[in-house]
Structure 1
Amino acid sequence: MAGFFDKSRTVAAPGFNRWMVPPAALCIHLCIGQVYAFSVFKIPLTQLIGIDSSAAGDWDQSTLAWIFSLAIAALGLSAAFGGQWLERAGPRKAMALAASCFGGGFIIGAFGIWWHQIWLVYLGYGVIGGIGLGIGYISPVSTLIKWFPDRPGLATGMAIMGFGGGAMIGSPLATALMSFYSTDTSAGVGSTFLTMGIIYFLFMMIGALIVRVPAKDWKPAGYDPDADGNKENKMITRDHVHVNQAMKTPQFYLIWLVLFLNVTAGIALLEQASPMAQEMVGTTAAAAAGFVGVLSIFNMAGRFFWASTSDAIGRKTTYAIFFVLGMALYALVPTVAGNGSIILFVLACCVIVSMYGGGFATVPAYLKDIFGTMHVGAIHGRLLTAWAAAGVVGPVLLNQLREGRIEAGVPPAEAYTTTLYIMVALLALGLVCNLLVRPVAEKHHYEGDVNNPD
């Protein structure tokens, strides 16, 4: 049975339709994107004993916060260290591992909930589930790029759009299941974890079963990588760089900073979206909740729109738009909020968040342009440490600066202004890093067999 998961068993037969691969990727990303909806479990997990309200012995919010943090940390580490193994093992084995870890993490977490052992929830959903997140996130990327060398942004945008939309499925699914399983003596969270673990495992395994890799030297009909139009774009390499060699190039660290700075600005806004809407433009709590929902739609749609657009205008140009337009919008937000223009405030935030999502979806194609396709999955995995770092820096920066301004006597409505201008400065730094990206020097190019790299 182990042979069934070998990379050699996934080579596509002649005539295979490459459009079957994006649905396989979506099977993974629509599942692991559930992590964005983890907050739906927070209140029920604080009422496991009290049922209707927290009671003595129930977990508190600060204890539960570590579950999500561990999952994101495990995502970053597994993506960074598992990328090179993924290139050797192939997407089917990686997707199957991701399904086992992510689904299994839910199941282990269910026992932690039933037995009221928080360490089991940490281990299950946090560590093991987080490993499934990381391996699952990167597993389709290099395969999609190899299938779509003519439209890599479109391909990765379709898949990574699923990660942004996973919460739109996971949140109502979890809510419905908890309602179904709840009784007078149980909040139904443990049974919900078990059910979701099984559902996600099966759905992700469908993706693992249908995924295929292209045969050696395959290319799309009519695609010529040496065509004049492609030759003119000096940012797209025809060579390949080994993952370990990529770490020795300035391009890797410049793109790391590009992603880090783009994500830092976007994730800070996402994390504080509801309070910002209420404090800056005076919306109600219900309206702020709707605002957060609209942002999630733009986060998802931006991944597809911007990544697809990058195929036409280039990755470097796309990121330049992110930074220039982002600077203008962040600088504009305090003014439109001060004028009480709710519509302009919402529009500005929606565009910002679309570029946050677009940054995630565009960066795999950016890496393919710079380093080639040989180890793009492994390089992408190591680059995702920028996401983990930004996930800490962005929210902390916004919250700490806001609290400091309020303690200094500044009204809450004006407390975000300084932070937003700091975001403008960070985006300006990102623009500089992006402009400094150049093609990789020939001395870094891989000279061995690309189909069997060492």
Structure 2
Amino acid sequence: MDLIKNHYGAVKFERSEHWLRAEEYLFYFPPLRFNRFLLFPAALLIQLSVGSLYAWSGYNLPIEAYIYGRNGGVDRNIASNIFYVAVGVFGLTAALLGPWLERRGPMLGCLVGALFFYAGNLLAGLGVYTQHIELVIFGYGIIGGIGLGIAYIAPVSPLQKWFPEARGIAAGVAVCGFGGGSIIAPYSQKFLIGVNYHKTGEVGIVGVPLTFVILGSIYFVAMMLSALVLRMPPPGYSVKGITIDTIKGAEAFQGRQSGDSASSDDIKKTSITTGSGLGQQTLYERDSSADLGGVRKDPAPVEEAADTSKGQVDSNVFAMTLAESLSSSEYWLMWFMFLGAQITGLLIISKIQSIIQNQFKRDADAAALINSLLGGANLLGRLVLPLLSDVLPHVSGGVAGRKSIFLFSLVTQAVCLSFLPLTIDDQRFGGFLACAFIIAFCYGGGFGVIPAFLADQFGAKNVGATHGIILMAWASGAVVGGLVFTEVLKKQQVKFAPNIVPIYDLNFRWILGLVLMGFVLCIFIHTNLRDRRMPHVEGEVLRIRFINGRMIRFYRTGKMHMLSKHEEDSEWSDYLRTLGH
């Protein structure tokens, strides 16, 4: 228990004075200076590599044909389980190593992830070559899954810290490549394996085993080079008054009195310091608007701490520790909401090529094309929805843009899930594709928005760990949901044989229930700082924001009370005064 508390306790990344100075440069020595925007292409390359996971469905039939023999291209539902194992280990690794990443830094995390993912691909190729499916499961599913988990979160954490003023788009760019991986990888796989290998046995360039070796080597080189660019911002870094500790809404209190209106300097200065107490020295001061491109030799005076005796409230008063974040009800509401928001896209992507070939009788080329286009929708969602979550103003009721995006996504997916069985049963290929692309768009958007949502709620300093653990929701959907999906599918195949068209209907229905659960839970996630921090009054069990922006309290007695604006402002002011004592 103490080990768990220490692991998920205080998270601090420490660097020496020498290392901080070296990080001023792109490759840690002159002449090329580091610029925070260089993190974007590095993150893209890393995510394109690990995003090849989403093209796993292109391996299902070729692997089964190589190991068990050809059967006309019928899916045996064996190789697809490797995808679920990889996703499960991915999520578990991200959850366990999130705090480690924050303590050791993203560069080391990415290097370790690259090594594991490369080893996983090599073992998978060996397992196929020797016709041992167990080795493929161990190699790609477990060893590769470990690499995927740590490499995925490695670029997300630093981007949330370097771009606190644009958390949504920073998160979107950080993970968009993961969707892009399924655009490129299907064609690479088919080119190397052979388009119709699983039916005719005709080999492409190298066949199934060596495809893992070649693509794994390419991914490894791209990830190793990109890892050199990743780094955390220097101590004290802030933009527009937002630091790595700042939660959404608290930036308005930067250097303000408790009763002051919300305003702050657009750009704050950043001091790099070493030591503590009397031994602390200011090494140099940067202007964060200059993207750490230059160093000012004349240090500016250190800003004085807030005078709480006069009622002054600093934004860091609202900062949350990792333990506080993980133990909050809001975090676990987000965890289960994320499960409901992502499980549909996850399970459809894992089976898309099989559905296209078996349910709609399209050939392997068409299936690969659809898989690739689905990856494009996934990528687009990861860019568009996080950007919208940044620019959307708080709508009536204090519902933040990121929460609005998830509400929209869940409703949209519920509608599509209602229509999907009809499109397959009636053989409406266009309707099926429309629903699948919309689901993939929302699925990608969820991954793009969630890091920024977590940084808003719990601070960017905790995002490596909070993001890692919330990925367990996605992993749980893959492992538990995937196993349930496969078992239900097998029983439906027997029930409807030889007609296999309606075999997915029952699966789509239980997934719809999880999506609706996610929608209900999302409603109760508090994004307004007042809702989160204003103390509960005696007997209060629940509070929500009505559409008119007013807070409604619910009591144990069954009564409810809608606060007037004056009542709420008065209570909030009283609470802020307590922070100044």
Structure 1 CA distance for aligned equivalents of residues 512 and 358 of structure 2: 21
User: Per-residue displacement from partner, 1:90-133 (whole Å, max 9, x unpaired)?
Assistant: 11111111111112322344454555555554443332221110
Matched, 1:428 2:516: yes
Matched, 1:82 2:97: yes
Instruction: Name the SS for the 1:212 alignment partner.
Output: coil
Query: Is 103-112 or 89-98 further displaced after alignment?
Result: 103-112
2:445 is matched by which residue type in structure 1? G
Structure 2 CA distance for aligned equivalents of residues 418 and 121 of structure 1: 30
Tell me the equivalent position of 2:335.
256
Instruction: Name the SS for the 1:216 alignment partner.
Output: coil
Q: Alignment partner for residue 227 of structure 2, among 188, 208, 225?
A: 208
State the 1:174 CA deviation: 3.7
Q: Alignment partner for residue 306 of structure 1, among 357, 381, 385?
A: 385
Structure 2 CA distance for aligned equivalents of residues 331 and 67 of structure 1: 28
Q: Alignment partner for residue 373 of structure 1, among 446, 460, 485?
A: 460
State the 1:13 CA deviation: 5.9
CA contact (8 A) 1:156 1:362 kept: yes
Tell me the equivalent position of 1:17.
35
Structure 1 CA distance for aligned equivalents of residues 175 and 137 of structure 2: 26
Tell me the equivalent position of 2:415.
328
Tell me the equivalent position of 1:317.
404
Tell me the equivalent position of 2:12.
none
Matched, 1:126 2:141: yes
Tell me the equivalent position of 1:156.
171
Structure 1 CA distance for aligned equivalents of residues 263 and 481 of structure 2: 37
Which of structures 1 and 2 has the larger relative contact order (alpha carbons within 8 angstroms, sep 6+)?
1
State the 1:89 CA deviation: 0.4
Query: Is 163-172 or 110-119 further displaced after alignment?
Result: 110-119
1:155 is matched by which residue type in structure 2? A
2:330 is matched by which residue type in structure 1? Q
> Which residues of structure 2 form unaligned runs of 5+?
1-14, 27-32, 195-200, 244-250, 254-260, 265-314, 393-400, 536-581
Query: Is 424-433 or 88-97 further displaced after alignment?
Result: 424-433
Instruction: Name the SS for the 2:460 alignment partner.
Output: coil
Structure 2 CA distance for aligned equivalents of residues 289 and 194 of structure 1: 21
CA contact (8 A) 2:85 2:479 kept: no
Tell me the equivalent position of 1:243.
322
State the 1:301 CA deviation: 1.3
Q: Classify 1:437/1:408 alpha carbon distance in 2 versus 1 (closer, same or farther; 3 Å).
A: same
Structure with larger Rg: 2
State the 1:68 CA deviation: 3.3
State the 1:320 CA deviation: 0.8
Structure 1 CA distance for aligned equivalents of residues 67 and 331 of structure 2: 49
2:382 is matched by which residue type in structure 1? R
Structure 2 CA distance for aligned equivalents of residues 128 and 357 of structure 1: 25
Tell me the equivalent position of 2:48.
30
> Which residues of structure 1 form unaligned runs of 5+?
444-454
CA contact (8 A) 2:111 2:223 kept: yes
CA contact (8 A) 1:12 1:212 kept: no
CA contact (8 A) 1:7 1:90 kept: no
1:317 is matched by which residue type in structure 2? S
Structure 2 CA distance for aligned equivalents of residues 277 and 195 of structure 1: 27
Structure 1 CA distance for aligned equivalents of residues 358 and 184 of structure 2: 29
Tell me the equivalent position of 2:579.
none
Matched, 1:71 2:86: yes
So what's the TM-score if we normalise by structure 1? 0.79
Q: Classify 1:41/1:423 alpha carbon distance in 2 versus 1 (closer, same or farther; 3 Å).
A: closer
User: Per-residue displacement from partner, 1:309-362 (whole Å, max 9, x unpaired)?
Assistant: 111221111111112222233334456667765444432331122101111111
- Of all paired residues, the percent bearing the same amino acid is 31
Residues 432-443 of structure 1 correspond to what in structure 2 (within 5 A)? 432-439=520-527, 440-441=532-533
Tell me the equivalent position of 1:102.
117
User: Per-residue displacement from partner, 1:136-173 (whole Å, max 9, x unpaired)?
Assistant: 01111110111111111111111211011113223333
Q: Classify 1:321/1:12 alpha carbon distance in 2 versus 1 (closer, same or farther; 3 Å).
A: farther
Count of residue pairs brought into register by the alignment: 426
CA contact (8 A) 2:67 2:133 kept: no
Query: Is 300-309 or 340-349 further displaced after alignment?
Result: 340-349
The answer to which structure has the higher strand fraction is 2
2:182 is matched by which residue type in structure 1? A
Matched, 1:219 2:298: no
The answer to which structure has the higher helix fraction is 1
Structure 2 CA distance for aligned equivalents of residues 161 and 169 of structure 1: 13
Tell me the equivalent position of 1:449.
none
CA contact (8 A) 1:94 1:135 kept: yes
State the 1:292 CA deviation: 3.7
Q: Classify 1:420/1:125 alpha carbon distance in 2 versus 1 (closer, same or farther; 3 Å).
A: closer
Query: Is 29-38 or 88-97 further displaced after alignment?
Result: 29-38
Instruction: Name the SS for the 1:218 alignment partner.
Output: coil
Structure 1 CA distance for aligned equivalents of residues 353 and 60 of structure 2: 17
State the 1:261 CA deviation: 0.7
Matched, 1:196 2:205: no
Tell me the equivalent position of 1:450.
none
State the 1:30 CA deviation: 0.8
State the 1:43 CA deviation: 4.7
Tell me the equivalent position of 2:308.
none
1:383 is matched by which residue type in structure 2? I
Query: Is 221-230 or 36-45 further displaced after alignment?
Result: 221-230
